[in-house]
Structure 1
């Protein structure tokens, strides 16, 4: 993709001179990563009332909850609650698209780390289940989001930020060992109450998350996303939260719009957007996700980056971006080469659409 350099330069140009949301003081890598995950959670709730898939997988993978519990929880969210009885028994592996449902278990196979029941994947917790407390916590969270987080609107942001912080912490164990996070120490000593979990929330992160939402609204970025979503009326979902491409590990942040054309948006709250190597990965990932949707289930016609600390949306029509990245090479040939590579890496055969 020889034209990547020129595309990356646009990010620097779009953010030049724009005020930045920063932490209140010196923070470590853990803080940056946690705020990024938590803000991604908040952005997803602006778009659709869907299960927090990585959170539920993480709780199963850590051994704090069973897979049956995770399916039951997923089936309680508005996107999944109308599923039939048989489908709700495996609700966590079903994802809505614009053309129906994507069944991860049947089409891609569920990773062994999240498919097994009963035993902690990391063997860190002497108490193998926290389902009763988690039931209470998730019931309260669903009710709070339903009341105070209307689609596409700023809500009770301080309370929402606290819940997103908790969700992000549980999401952490989907891909990481909980021993790295002090938060999970409470589970090694017993099963904490919901109130004890709330007291673990870091208030400096909450303040920062509220500021990021204020920047989203005040900068006009939320209005731009509404435009990309086709100006949905109040109360209607804007699109799809956490669209998945290939397996439960390969998801992105949000998809706004509908069957006639949607925008895939990668949300990032990093501070430095002029790192060319990092920016290349963002852009290539957007194109790769769009190409992986071989059945065109998500109808991706535009891709975008939302640079949360700047309040800047940078969007490209997918076809134009691919043409610019390839610098004159044949887009269809590049797409097929990419899918062939994915096939070899995964040992599967994707159905390439015409």
Structure 2
């Protein structure tokens, strides 16, 4: 399935303006208490239990075991893009949290939503819709690509309108040094201007319909010259962080003593999905295949699609998840 071959209409439904004012002005916001704190703590323990199930020596309650050779493969600071993480029961339970769903229902003006699921990795191009367990690993273990910032947007330059709002269900206390979402404040209103300037300069490639664009140091300087600055988004356990996909961002590594534990979530109106993509979604769900972040226009990815990194890589979740009726509708298994 190649979603880029589908016609992208200019009149596609847009997220509601003014529901979360900071989303329109800053490109991001924090919705307090979307998940009760006690349930957020339970999710942390369940996610630690998932890491422990690989029997590599990791123990969630023993920081002396927090080393990269004791956990399965991850991208960047702690994004788990394989081994069926996105279809584990804890991932679906987070997607089914009423407070998380309600925030997106406000954004779209409807509670008849579809959710993305699984993890997403386009080779070296990572689009976040996974689980994130960023532990404060020793600095020497995070050298190379895993330790570098990776500024990007999660929207194709061919779509310059407000098209997608993404979310992070934050499960641990997330302060200035605990890893997490870094946003380039002021970059949202410059999204269209930047790509127009690139085209006018003759330095623009043929933009892909893939929902990703990456920024070099020279690209970022263009934004710095216009007053944009990096901001670390802080959140409490159970908070929902939202951002417009046109906002430049990346996930910072944990630098202090606390871990970052979170899940990525994204919902869009069910009525807007193309029939071909609905069929692809059902196929992905049936086979526990991962998808990229946009619930309506996605690529299938993950351990069943990408080349294996480890011989013992799991093709899906440990146990097939049990879905509520609400989750089945979010997955596209049951119509509204």
Question: Normalised by the size of structure 1, how large is the TM-score?
Answer: 0.24
Over alpha carbons, which structure has the higher Rg? Answer: 1
Question: Normalised by the size of structure 2, how large is the TM-score?
Answer: 0.25
| Greater relative contact order structure (CA < 8 Å, 6+ sep) | 2
Higher helix share: 1
Higher strand share: 2
